[in-house]
Every structure is written in structure tokens, then in C-alpha cells.
A and B are shown apart, each in its own frame.
Chain A
Amino acid sequence: MGYGKLRGLCLFFGALWLIVPLHPASAAAPSEEQMLRRIMREVNELKADKQQDEEKIQDLEQRVGAIQNQNHQLKEANQKLQTDTTAKIATLQTKVDAPPSPEEFGGAFDRYLGTHTFTVTGAAGGQFVYNQQNAALNNLHHDSQNSFFVDWEPMILYRPTDWILFQGVISTGFGSTGTGVDLSTADFQILANKYLTVVAGLFDQPFGDWYETQSPMWVNRFVTAPLPFGVESVVPPGEIGVQLRGGMQFGALGQDFDYTVWGGNGPNYSSTVLGAAVSSPTSVASSQSSGKSIGARFRVYPLPLEKEWGRLELGASTYNGEWNNRDWLTSWGVDFNYFIDNLQTRGEWLEAYRQMPNGQTSDNRQGWYVQAGYFLGGLNVPYIPDQLNGYLQRLEPLVRYSGVNQRGVSTDDLAAATGIGLGGTQVGLVPDFGINGSPATYAPHAREVALGLDYWFAPSIVWQNEFDIELPRAGGVFVSPTGVETPAGATPNDRAFLSQFTVGF
């Protein structure tokens, strides 16, 4: 071994001594630093574990909270359900215990009645007429009225569907000479659509307003009819035929327009002489008519409701037709009706031209009336008992002026219609309209002022009192059944009092 080898071995072992610990015991026991590191590592591990545990706990707490919340909601829902159920049971119990509402009862009653229903409406009334005539009318009649009368005018409405209605009115009257019965109207009303209604049958003449809407006893403010619609009709009071009619709004609420066009059997007269009375379409005189008629009426209501200016109606009518084998009746008229609050006014003007057979001059007629009434509903007279004021507030004072101009009057009709022949009820000639029986109203130029005082027990129950002042003008002729004309001569004035109690039902 050389010196170099030896030196190398010494360096090796020296290094080994330095690297390897000298005491074997120091290799098994860790140093403090190591211990500290170890402890720190364990502490960190514990911290991490704690962190994880806390996260888990937090997560679990959140879950528990959610479950508790859900549980609370379920409890609330359950409680609400129980409350609602209790309330519903209570409501049902109340419904079961309570009687049905009017709507429910109405529906059930409608089902009980079926789809075909009918109703009886109409009017009934008793009248007293006192007429003390001053003098005879051209020595034809001089008679006084002091009589009671009874009228009963039931109207039957029959409704098989919601677009078909049948209505019929039978007018019955009992007077000093017995009972009269007349079929006033009987027609079907077919509501085709919003703008068209078809009426077919026997109907009031839709000429002007009076025949159609003012003739029922409880509707007419007076006991009697105005002269041109009662004792001396200018146009026929009724017609058998077909109407087409309807109404529509053209502006604001209340601004309406309506139309009625119709055709029928044509006009009828009691005879072929001048001045013969227009007769009912159901009278035997209808056999005279060989032609047909056509008529039209248009009315407008220009005032809007919201303005509170009242209700105004303006109308125009025409009726034309053949009678007696191609002789013509031509007529036209205008009418108005206005009411506001307690005041009501209405009036009509009508003219008719009738061609006459055998070269006779034409039978021309004019008629008119205006009337006004005022309800004393707002009256409150001081210093009188309230009860008396209550009575006064049911009163309606009225005034009417009416007249007719015609060349002649048939003496046959005069004899039949003055209350002597038919007890004042002109059944078949002038249906169901009150008259006072005065011959003065049959003068060729009759004029009448009627003063009225109505006492309203209810909207359709009324006690009517009327005082008529007959002021006929001179002129005109009376015509015998053979056509002989006699000047009417003097036409004495006349007075009459009528009282009527009537109920619209």
C-alpha cells in the first residue's frame, strides 16, 4: 500500500466519522426541533380536521334549518287547509240551510214553467158618464147620459220561444144596453234580429201614437179619446196584415230612430156615403175592401239621456189604401211627444183624403189634438198636514184640445154611436175607447176642450175625472143613407162629466 492509498483511506474514514453520528443513542431519539415540527404538523392536521368538522356541522345545521322550514311550511299549509275546509263546510252548511237566492229561485222556477209561457195583462175599469145636453144637434138627437159602464180588456201574451210572441186583446164592455165584445188585436211578433221585428195578424194602426200606445184605459190620461181617434176617426183604428218594424240608436244613449212599415187588407167604412165612419177591420163592413193598404211611420228621439233635457219624440206617418173597388184613401200625419220631470205633452195632426164612388166629391178629413199634464209630485203646500200634501202629490191636472174637420157626417153612424144604440160603447165601430156620448162630438166641425184631474194610487191604478166642453163649429152637412145631404145648421155647445176608475194589470 502506498502513501497515497493510506491517505485516501484516512480521508474516507474521516468523512464517514463526520457524517455518521458518533453515538448510536442519538439516532433513535428525535430532536426538539423535530418534535416541534411534528407537533406543529399534527396541530395543523387537527386544525384541518376541525375546519372540515365545522363545515360539516354548518352544512348539517343548514340542512336541519331547511328541514325545519319545510316542516313549518307543511304545518302552515296543513293548518290553512284545515281552516279552509272548515270554512267551506260552514259555507256549504249555510247554503244548505239558507233559502235559494232570487236568481237561483228564478232559474229553477223558469225551468219548472217550461219554455212555453203565457201571461195575462191588460186593464179593467168602471166609468160613470153624465152628459146633460143643451139642445138637439140639428134635431137628430137630444138625449142625456147618466150611466155607468164597465170595460174589461185582457191581453194575453204567449211566448213559445225567446224570439216569438203572440199577443191578443179582447175588449169587452157593459153598458145600459148590454154587453159588447170585440177582438181588438191578435198577432204574432217575431223578433228576427236586432233591427227587424215582424208582426203578423190583427193590430192597432201604427199611425201616429194614439191607437198603438195611448189607447189602453190606464195609459190614456183621459177617460175619452181625442176626437180624431175616437168618435170621428180620420184613419182606420186597426188593420189586418203584416208589419216590419225596429228601432236603433244613432248617437248617444237615448238618441234613437225607429221605423214601421206595413201592409194590410185596406180601409173600411160603414157605408159608401160621404161622412161614413171608418170601421174596425173586424166589422162586417170590411167586405167593402177589395184592395190592399200600405203604411209607414218614422220617429226620431233626438235628445241624449245624459243631457237630462227630457225625452222628445218627433214622428211622421202615412197610410194609403184602396177601399170599395179602387177608390183610394190617402192619409198622412205628424206627431210629437215630450216629457221632462213631471210635465208631459203630446199632440198629433192628421189628414185623410178619400175618393168617393159615383162621382161624389172626395171625403176629406182633418183632425188634431194637443194635451198636457203635470204631476203634482213635487208639490208641498205649507201650513197643511203632511197627509194632505201626500194626497195632493198624487194628482195630475190635465188639459186637452182636440178637433175634427170634415164635410159631412153619416146620420146612420150618428144614430148608432151616440150612446143611444150601443150604450156608449162602440163595439165594432170604434173599439174600446171612451166617449162621452155627446152628439156635439159628431158635428162635422167638432171641437172639444177636455179638463182632467187624475188621482194616481199606483203607476197603473188611477181614478180619472174629466170635464168636457163641446164647442162645435157651424158648417158641414149630415148625410142620409141614400146620400141626401142636409146642412148641419146650428151646432149647440155641450158639457159632459166622466169619472173612471181603472187598473192596468
Chain B
Amino acid sequence: MKRILAAIVLATLAIGYAGVPVSAQENLSAAEHRRLFREGAKLWPVYCNTCHNARPGSEKAPYEWDQIMMHMRTLGNIPPDDANAILVYLKSR
């Protein structure tokens, strides 16, 4: 049991360590912001509706979406680039 747990933890950490830092959306260029907005507009109704009705960005303040999308990214195991695009879309209302 402990060996299995240790093996899974080590394997997952190895996968995780091979990754890159958490993406941020500070200092986006205008072109990059437009690209993420368009992608987020496509992903928002699909990813959110997988579990619940997609809620419009105007329901929450941008700083609240920062927190909610962190939680949703974790709960839905959403790929971070996709979560980032949805966040840009939601914050743009």
C-alpha cells in the first residue's frame, strides 16, 4: 500500500516537475488578449456546461473570476491554457 502510494506520488510529481510554471495573464499584448478572448469564447460554453450551466462573465467582478477560475481549473482538471482563455473571456464580460 505505502509502496503503491509512494510510486504514484513520485510518478505524478515527475510529470508535474516536467511542466512549466503556472500561466499568468498579466501584461498580455493586445493581439494575445484578442486571441485568448476568441478561444475563451469557444471554450466557455463547452467546458462550463460539462458540469453546470455556463454563467456569464458579468455576474462576477474580474477579481472574483480570478479565484473562481482557479477553483474550477482544479475541480474540473481543466488544462491551464484553456482555463486561462476562459478567464480572459469572463473578465472581458
- Interface set of A (CB-CB < 8 Å, partner B): 102, 106, 109-110, 113, 117-119, 121, 157-159, 162-163, 165, 167, 189, 191-197, 199, 209, 212-214, 216, 218-219, 244-249, 253-254, 256, 258-261, 263, 291-292, 294, 296, 299, 305, 311, 313, 322, 337, 339, 344, 456, 459-460, 504
Task: Establish whether residues B80 and A296, one from each chain, have CB atoms under 8 Å apart when the complex forms.
Answer: no
Q: A118-B67, A459-B54 are in contact. Are A305 and B43 (CB under 8 A)?
A: yes
| 5 further A-B pairs in the complex, CB-CB below 8 A; given A195-B18, A311-B49 | A159-B70, A194-B79, A244-B9, A247-B79, A339-B49
Interface of A is mostly: strand
A194 adjacent to B71 (CB under 8 Å): no
From the candidates B16, B24, B52, name the one contacting A193 in the complex (CB within 8 A): B16
Q: Is A459 within 8 A of B55, CB to CB?
A: yes
Would A337 and B50 count as touching, CB distance under 8 A?
yes
- List chain B residues, Cβ under 8 A from A193: 16-17, 19-22
Known: A106-B91, A245-B74, A259-B77. A196 touches B8 (CB 8 A): no
CA distance A299 to B17 in the complex (A): 21
User: In the bound complex, what is the Cα–Cα distance between A162 and B77 (angstroms)?
Assistant: 17
Closest residue on chain A to residue B39 by CB atoms: A253
Question: Which of B1, B12, B20 makes the CB contact (< 8 A) with A261?
Answer: B12
In contact, B55 and A113 (Cβ under 8 angstroms) = no
Contact A162:B5 (CB < 8 A) given known A119-B67, A459-B55, A460-B53: no
Contacts of A109 in B (CB 8 A): 61-63
Q: Mark B80-92, 1 if CB is under 8 A from A, else 0.
A: 1110000000010
Beta-carbon contact of A165 and B70 below 8 Å = yes
| Minimum C-beta distance from B2 to chain A (A) | 8
Query: In the assembled complex, which residues on chain A have CB atoms less than 8 Å from the CB atom of B74?
Result: 165, 189, 191, 197, 199, 245
**Of the candidates A106, A194, A197, A259, which one forms a contact with B23 in the assembled complex, judged by CB atoms under 8 Å apart?**
A194
Q: A159, A192, A193, A305: which has the most chain B beta carbons within 10 Å?
A: A193
Q: Which residue of A lies closest to B24 (CB)?
A: A162
Report the separation of the CA atoms of residues A450 and B49 in the bound assembly, to the nearest whole angstrom.
22
Given A189-B74, A245-B74, residue A294 in contact with residue B52 (CB < 8 A): no
Bound-complex Cα distance A333 to B59 (A) = 36
Closest to A155 in B: B71
Are the CB atoms of B71 and A167 closer together than 8 Å?
Answer: yes
8 A Cβ contacts from B41-62 to A: 42-43, 46, 49-56, 59-62
Quick one: closest A residue to B56, CB to CB? A459
| Pairwise interchain contact A305-B67, C-beta atoms closer than 8 A | no
- B68: min CB distance to chain A, Å: 7
B15 in the interface (beta carbon within 8 A): yes
B19 adjacent to A157 (CB under 8 Å) = no
Is the C-beta of B31 less than 8 angstroms from some C-beta in chain A?
no
Task: Please give, as numbers and ranges, the residues of chain A lying within 8 Å of B19 by CB-CB distance.
Answer: 192-196
* Inter-chain contact B73/A191, CB cutoff 8 Å: yes
**Across the interface, which residues of B come within 8 angstroms of A218, CB to CB?**
52
B1 to chain A, nearest CB (A): 7
B63 to A: closest C-beta gap in Å = 6
A504 contact set on B, CB distance < 8 A: 52, 55
Contact of B50 among A199, A294, A339 (CB under 8 A): A339
Q: Considering the chains assembled together, what is the distance between the CA atoms of A313 and B8 in angstroms?
A: 24
Instruction: Point out the residue from A106, A214, A216, A248 that lies within 8 Å of B62, measured CB to CB.
Output: A106
Are B4's CB and A294's CB within 8 A? Answer: yes
Contacts A/B (CB < 8 Å), 5 sampled: A157-B68, A219-B51, A244-B9, A296-B8, A504-B52
Closest chain B residue to A258 by CB distance? B77
Known: A248-B79, A311-B46. A157 touches B67 (CB 8 A): yes
Contact across chains for B71 and A189 when beta carbons are under 8 A apart:
yes
How far is B68's CA from A119's CA once the two chains are assembled, in angstroms? 8
Contacts of B18 in A (CB 8 A): 195
Docked Cα-Cα span, A175 to B19, in Å, equals 49
Residues of A within 8 A of B59 (CB): 460
Give the distance to chain A from B80, nearest Cβ to Cβ, in Å: 5
Query: In the complex, A5 Cα to B63 Cα: how many Å?
Result: 141
- Cβ-closest chain B residue relative to A110: B63
CB distance from A286 to the nearest CB of B (A): 19
State A262–B91 Cα separation when bound (angstroms). Answer: 32
CA distance A117 to B60 in the complex (A): 14
Closest beta carbon of chain A to B18's beta carbon, Å: 7
> What is the distance, in angstroms, from A187's C-beta to the closest C-beta of chain B?
9
- With most chain B CB atoms within 10 A of its CB, the pick from A117, A162, A296 is A162
